[in-house]
Structure 1
Amino acid sequence: MDAVVLIGSFMLLMLIGVPVAYSLGLAALVGALWIDIPLDAVMVQIAAGVNKFSLLAIPFFVLAGAIMAEGGMARRLVAFAGVLVGFIRGGLSLVNILASTFFGAISGSSVADTASVGTVLIPEMEKKGYPRPFATAVTVSGSVQAILIPPSHNAVLYSLAAGGSVSIAALFMAGVVPGLLMGLTLAALCLLKARKHNYPKGEVIPLRQALKIAGEAMWGLMTMVIILGGILSGVFTANESASIAVLWAFFVTMFVYRDYKWRDLPKLVHRTVKTVTVVMILIGFAAAFGYMMTLMQVPMKITGFITGLSDNKYVILALLNVLLLLLGTLMDMSPLILILTPILLPVVKLLGVDPVHFGMIMMVNLGIGLITPPVGTVLFVGSAVAKLKIGVVTQAMMPFFVALFLVLMMVTYLPALSLWLPRAMGL
């Protein structure tokens, strides 16, 4: 009955339109009153939830991504991707996917990826003869790579939700191969579409111009080298790499590219602070909600229920995939990671699934949820950028959903895709 009160109050608050973060906090208070524990204990858990050193990585990565997104990085990455693959039939769709790969490795955000790359490429693709819904579908689908390719904010959240037992560096490295696999799968689909519909080829860019474009893009791509190189070499931690990435992004944007005006910088910082504030409120309230679940033994009860359905690891993983896909269409990614990780991680550990591997399974599932109606945040952003109705974009995305589902199956049932690189790096 305790669990019914806690989870039921949370669902009721959600249904009447209370924001997710406040629903978590209020449900925790209701649960505390129900089992008659001091409300001070809930407040302590909220404070403890955000009083973690590892959380410093989130605001720094968000700020670095925002600076690069608004400082001309997206345009230069698109141009560089055009040099590499733009001359192939359907090349602009490949440019879109590759630009999302590059930008995702800098921003770590699917929303920023869609907004930045989409603003540049959706109009350009339509101008060159691609249907606008197809161009939007490519942009939205390609942005899911940012969930996996480091630096991923959601990997930091997963590590936090796992109680700090999973290394952020290991999660960063685990996302590299699945992220690249996703990009290659989407690129293959775009090539098939291009051949079927006879989409245009781009022009080969002259060598001198190509070198200039590559030189400009390399300044931004060095951000990725700094983040990953520093962590893997042991020169600095994930938190330190995030702060250094901010300094590098600021230097490149304001002193190398010089496209961004100094007077606009306070507004950018203000938007970043607002974003981070929302995330931190969510983390604090989710910590209190998780504390109440632990007191009520909700994770243990759910573990017993799921393992009672089957003792086959692959069947259980299939059921968890269905659950995550369904929930991902109804809620945003960050709260789901914070809520579900403490519940589901004991289940998969009992089955012998590596926590890093399960992190990638969760990321792919919930990443697909970001582009799926009715609550697909990234889908909404892509539709707004393209000025198309959600239904039109969703219809164009059907083949891309199939491609992403194939990637999900490979990530789920081929653990080596996620675990090979972290183990090779000794993480």
Structure 2
Amino acid sequence: MNIIISTIVLFAVFGVLLFLGCPISISILVSSVATALANLSWDQVIFIVMQKMNSGVESFSLLAVPLFILAGNIMNNGGIARRLINFAKIISGRIPGSLAQTNVLGNMLFGALSGSAVAAAAAIGGTLNPMEEEEGYDPAFSTCVNIASAPTGLLIPPTSAFIVYSTIAGGVSISALFMAGYIPGLLMGLSTMLIAYFYAKKHNYPVSPKVSFNQAVKTTMEAIPSLLLIVIVIGGIVGGVFTATEGAGIAVLYCLILSLVYRSITFQDFLDILLKSACTSGIILFLISASSAMSWVMAYSGIPAAISNAIMSVSDNKYVVFLLMNIVLLVIGTFMDITPACLIFTPIFLPIATSFGMDPIHFGVMLVFNMCLGTMTPPVGSVLFISCGISKVSIEQVVKQLLPYLFSLVALLLAVTYIPALSLALPKLLGLIK
């Protein structure tokens, strides 16, 4: 009976607070305290919740999160996005709807460097949308392409999502997680490019003028210093030269030096970037802290075990169980940010997944992929709202055209779920897992 009461209190309070427009971190914390009070005294609840909130962010690995956020903000303001866009245009310039294809490639490249779907959507979409409008692209189409491709940066490393997952999963290699995200992330971008290709072909969208060989070489050379960041950071982490946290620090230093070389950042810009990064980091770390408290409350109340038993009671077939897990995570992703979702639902679903033989690294990729789709859908779709705000297109105009992209990505999610090699082949090839 206590489990039923705790579950009702937790999700009812959380849902009401979200409906009232309360910040998700506060909603998580208040609903956790309310649930704990159903089982413990006020003094016990305050002491334990504060303790769990503190221990939730007391991790050396989590230092990488604010550092990668700072690196992404420096890139966003340091002229790197423009050079990546020019490089992407060289690759996609002769494909129908070439500016839309450039948008996808630009998001994949910038997302891989910054690890942020929102930063990619703002930087790449903000630059390309006016250009696409000038060439007669339907603004809703341009917005959909930006929305569908921006989350690739959450899968293509370095990405904070895998770092957060690693801290809660325990004993899961960050290097292996980074490598596991490459193929699903690339497939996510390619599927978006394929749909954009057919749409552009149908509506006769223009192909960019052919670029001379000399111009292509010049553009590539300008982009190489930015692209080297991936080689340095990922190569160093996978090669065991430094940890993910140390790699994040190196990324900050490299981006800062690059921005100074490009002369695209002033001292005042840097101070503004520091302030913005501190605010964003504070929000994310408080989310992690509050989510840690909720994870404890759920575990103490027996909610994870109850959810696990409920799922297992439906079927003992692993394919059905994995499908049910995906459905739940897709629904969760529509109203919860990726960080608290990873922290809250990893302890619930990871034991179920591993009991059916799913590798924790494979599960981490599946979990993050689900959350990627959540950034594209209302009511808490950060990428959806950012992209619509940039292009000044209403969500109602976008949703219908976004459906083909969502359907293709859901199909790809199922492929990632049921074909472990898509996630595990690269880590195995590099000897990161057996």
State how 1:18-417 maps to structure 2 within 5 Å.
18-36=22-40, 38=44, 39-162=46-169, 164-254=170-260, 256-417=261-422
Query: Which string of whole-angstrom CA distances, capped at 9 and with x for unpartnered residues, describes residues 219-267 of structure 1?
Result: 111111111110111110111100000000000011x211222221101
Cα deviation per residue 1:37-85 (whole Å; 9 max; x = unaligned)?
5131221111111111110010111110110111111111110011112
Q: CA deviation at 1:312?
A: 0.6
Cα distance change of structure 1 residues 388 and 426 upon mapping to structure 2, 3 Å threshold: same
The offset of 1:331, in angstroms, is 2.1
One-letter code of the match for 1:23?
Answer: S
TM-score, structure 1 normalization: 0.96
CA-to-aligned-CA distance 1:4-48 (integer Å, 9 cap, x gap): 334443334333333221222223322333222513122111111
| Equivalent residue letter for 2:318 | K
- Cα distance change of structure 1 residues 347 and 417 upon mapping to structure 2, 3 Å threshold: same
Structure 1's consecutive aligned runs of 4 or more residues displaced over 6 angstroms after TM superposition are none
- Partner AA of 1:21 in structure 2: S
Q: SS of the counterpart of 1:397?
A: helix
Per the alignment, in what secondary structure is the counterpart of residue 143 of structure 1?
A: helix
Asked if the contact 1:72–1:259 (Cα under 8 Å) also holds between the matched residues in 2, the reply is: yes
CA distance in 2, matches of 1:137, 1:6: 35
State the distance in 2 between where 1:182 and 1:192 align: 16
Q: Distance in 2 between matches of 1:232 and 1:327?
A: 32
Residues 271-314 of structure 1, C-alpha deviations (whole Å, 9 max, x = no match)? 00000001111111111111122222222222111111101111
- Mapped to 2, the partners of 1:127 and 1:389 lie a distance apart of 19
**2:19 match:** 15
Output one character per residue of 1:348-404: Cα deviation in whole Å (capped at 9) or x when no partner: 111211111111111111111111122211100000000111111222212211221
- Once residues 296 and 377 of structure 1 are traced to their aligned partners in structure 2, the CA distance between those partners, rounded to angstroms, is 31
Distance 2:111 2:264 in 1: 21
Does the aligned pair in 2 maintain the 1:157–1:334 contact within 8 Å? yes
Matched pairs, number: 425
Kindly indicate whether the alpha-carbon contact (under 8 Å) linking 1:299 and 1:346 is maintained by their aligned counterparts in 2: no
Q: Report % sequence identity.
A: 42
Question: Equivalent residue of 2:208, what SS?
Answer: coil
Instruction: Report if aligned partners of 1:306, 1:347 keep a CA contact under 8 Å in 2.
Output: no
Distance 1:85 1:325 in 2: 31
Distance 2:108 2:79 in 1: 16
Letter in 2 for 1:311: D
2:231 maps to amino acid: V
Q: Residue type of the partner of 2:235?
A: G
Q: Which amino acid aligns with 2:30?
A: L
Q: CA deviation at 1:158?
A: 1.3
Question: How far apart, CA to CA, are the structure 2 residues paired with 1:223 and 1:102?
Answer: 11
Match for 2:234: what amino acid?
L
Structure 2: gaps of 5 or more residues: none
SS at match of 2:264: coil
Q: RMSD of the TM alignment (CA)?
A: 1.4
- Per-residue CA shift, 1:126-164, capped at 9, x if unaligned? 2122111111111111112111000111111111232x2
**Which amino acid letter does the alignment assign opposite residue 67 of structure 2?**
F
- Match for 1:209: what amino acid? Q
